[in-house]
């Protein structure tokens, strides 16, 4: 069946009072972004407190619905057939044709729900419901009316044109990206961090990302994989600025100067510092990590406290209470899992100790870090200056 428009239903943004325009504008922007690579020409418009996507000419219906179902802020997408408003008799015929084509089995229950913006229309909403219901019953005697839990809820809206829709494709919910500032995601090649980014973006936060690589210990392919992950997250979150930091020299210096079992925790502290530097530079309001309590040595409560201590921006950890299984489920849903599990070594595992500290003591860690005083500032500065920025669009 050929649909002419999508009616976009949005949830929370409808209740945000005076900010409503801001939210709707963001939604429109995100919808346009999501549709940019779909075959077809689309016009996004706000009218009567609603958002419509009008599809002009030939377009890929499936891809368009798919792209829209990734736009945060949308709770439902209704494919709409638009008809010329040519009198009630014509409308009856058109509705019968719609039902005939859309529901070839004709054995379902239905209910008609109509609205009219033109209050001079010869019939009121109640009368339209009845007359259209009668016409359908007459045309398809196997169909039954059920006003409480119909299989088909047939919406008919009479405006300058007539809009008919009877299906809601669920959207992802959340709020339009860009309505809640931006945050810096610490993106590794693993399963967790892309999911963390997705979850924060879902609340309307635009993303930037920082990735630490350690050539020659990590390969060009590991970096490619992270770029691929960023692209997958960007399908939901919109454009992402990805900072690729060469972490090798810092890592080797820590390895040389600090107790081996503290390597990971000290490394992570420097990663947070560098990510925070870029976050502040670009006006991000927080950091995002994929940490979950107790998952690995560097994610115990003590370790989290020790890494947290180096930054002053809030650190958001949306997966903090999730089990691995739950995280995997989301990563599969958002299609990052397959990419995440490609086997390339990341910089956290190359020199990892057999028994890293699981209950680091902040004072001791800070004492160990004093061994780094001679060169670390210079190394961090170099790492920041040589960072490669990749714009993911």
Partner 1 sequence: MEVYLDNSATTRCYPEVGELVYKVMCRDYGNPSSMHRKGVEAEHYVKESKETLARLLKVNAKEIFFTSGGTESDNLALIGTARAARRSGNHLITSAIEHPAILNTMRHLEEEEGFRVTYLPVDANGQIKLEALREALCKETILVSVMYVNNEVGAVQPVEQAARIVKSYNPAILFHTDAVQGFGKYRIYPKRLGVDLLSASGHKIHGPKGIGFLYINERVKIIPIVYGGEQQKNIRSGTENVPGIAGIGLASKMIYRDLDMKVALMRELKEHFLGGVTKIPNTTIHGLTDENSAPHIISVGFAGVRSEVLLHALEEKGIYVSSGSACASNHPAVSGVLKGIGAAREYLDATLRFSMSEFTTKEEIDYTLETLYNCVPVLRKFTRR
> Which residue lies nearer to partner 1 by CB, 249 or 329?
249
Query: Which SS3 state, helix, strand or coil, does residue 380 take?
Result: helix
Which tokens in the block code for residue 358? 């699981």
CB 159 within 8 A of CB 117: yes
CB 365 within 8 A of CB 267: no
Which residue from 113, 146, 167, 345 is in contact with partner 1, where contact means CB under 8 A? 345
Is position 382 an interface residue for partner 1 (rule: CB under 8 A)?
A: no
CB 77 within 8 A of CB 6: yes
> Which residue lies nearer to partner 1 by CB, 140 or 255?
255
Query: Which SS3 state, helix, strand or coil, does residue 115 take?
Result: strand
Is position 218 an interface residue for partner 1 (rule: CB under 8 A)?
A: yes
Site pattern 163..202 for partner 1 (x: CB under 8 A): ----------------------------------------
Min dist. Cβ of residue 219 to partner 1 (A): 5
> Which residue lies nearer to partner 1 by CB, 40 or 356?
356
Site pattern 300..339 for partner 1 (x: CB under 8 A): ----------------------------------------
3-state SS, 189-256, equals CCCHHHHHHHHHHHECCEEEEEEEECCCCCCHHHHHHHHHHHHHHHHHHCCEEEEEEECHHHHHHHHH
Which residue from 17, 49, 141, 343 is in contact with partner 1, where contact means CB under 8 A? 343
> Which residue lies nearer to partner 1 by CB, 213 or 235?
213
Is position 260 an interface residue for partner 1 (rule: CB under 8 A)?
A: yes
Which residue from 56, 127, 220, 323 is in contact with partner 1, where contact means CB under 8 A? 220
Is position 93 an interface residue for partner 1 (rule: CB under 8 A)?
A: no
Min dist. Cβ of residue 387 to partner 1 (A): 17
Q: Nearest-CA neighbor of 125 among 115, 134, 136, 112?
A: 115
Which tokens in the block code for residue 354? 């057999």
Q: Which of residues 277-306 bind partner 1 (CB under 8 A)?
A: none
Relative to beta strand 287-288, strand 315-316 is parallel
Min dist. Cβ of residue 333 to partner 1 (A): 27
> Which residue lies nearer to partner 1 by CB, 119 or 355?
355
Is position 255 an interface residue for partner 1 (rule: CB under 8 A)?
A: yes
Residue 171: how many CB atoms within 10 A of its CB?
20
Write b or e for each residue in 77-112: b if 16 or more Cβ atoms lie within 10 A of its Cβ, otherwise e: bbbbbbbeeeebeebbebbbebbeebbeeeeeebbb
Q: How many residues does the chain have?
A: 393
> Which residue lies nearer to partner 1 by CB, 270 or 278?
270
Residues that bind partner 1 (CB under 8 A): 215-220, 252, 255-256, 260, 343, 345, 350-351, 353
């Amino acid at each position: 069946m050929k649909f002419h428009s999508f009616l976009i239903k949005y949830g929370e943004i409808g209740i945000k009072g005076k900010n409503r325009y801001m939210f709707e504008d963001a939604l429109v922007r995100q919808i346009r972004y999501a549709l940019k690579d779909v075959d077809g020409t689309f016009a996004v418009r706000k009218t009567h407190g609603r958002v419509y996507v009008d599809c002009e000419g030939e377009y890929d219906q499936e891809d368009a619905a798919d792209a829209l179902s990734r736009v945060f802020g949308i709770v439902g997408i209704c494919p709409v057939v638009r008809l010329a408003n040519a009198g009630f008799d014509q409308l009856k015929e058109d509705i019968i044709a719609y039902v005939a084509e859309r529901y070839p089995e004709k054995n379902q229950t239905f209910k008609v729900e109509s609205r009219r913006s033109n209050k001079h229309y010869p019939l009121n909403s109640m009368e339209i419901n009845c007359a259209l219901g009668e016409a359908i019953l007459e045309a398809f005697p196997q169909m039954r009316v059920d006003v409480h839990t119909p299989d088909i809820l047939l919406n008919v809206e009479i405006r300058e044109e007539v809009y008919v829709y009877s299906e809601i494709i669920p959207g992802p919910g959340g709020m339009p990206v860009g309505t809640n500032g931006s945050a810096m995601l610490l993106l590794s090649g693993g399963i967790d961090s892309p999911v963390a980014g997705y979850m924060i973006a879902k609340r309307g936060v635009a993303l930037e990302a920082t990735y630490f690589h350690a050539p020659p210990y990590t390969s060009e392919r590991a970096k490619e994989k992270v770029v691929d992950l960023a692209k997958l997250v960007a399908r939901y979150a919109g454009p992402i600025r990805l900072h690729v930091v060469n972490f090798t020299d810092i890592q080797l210096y820590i390895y040389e100067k600090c107790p081996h079992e503290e390597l990971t925790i000290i490394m992570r502290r420097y990663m947070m510092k560098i990510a925070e530097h870029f976050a502040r530079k670009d006006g991000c309001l927080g950091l995002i990590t994929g940490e979950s309590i107790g998952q690995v040595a560097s994610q115990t409560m003590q370790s989290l406290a020790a890494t947290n201590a180096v930054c002053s921006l809030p650190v958001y950890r949306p997966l903090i209470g999730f089990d691995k299984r739950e995280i995997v489920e989301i990563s599969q849903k958002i299609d990052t899992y397959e990419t995440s599990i490609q086997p390339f070594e990341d910089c956290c595992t190359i020199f990892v100790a057999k028994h890293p500290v699981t209950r680091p003591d902040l004072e001791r860690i800070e004492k160990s870090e004093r061994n780094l005083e001679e060169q670390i500032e210079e190394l961090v500065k170099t790492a920041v200056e040589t960072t490669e920025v990749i714009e993911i669009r």
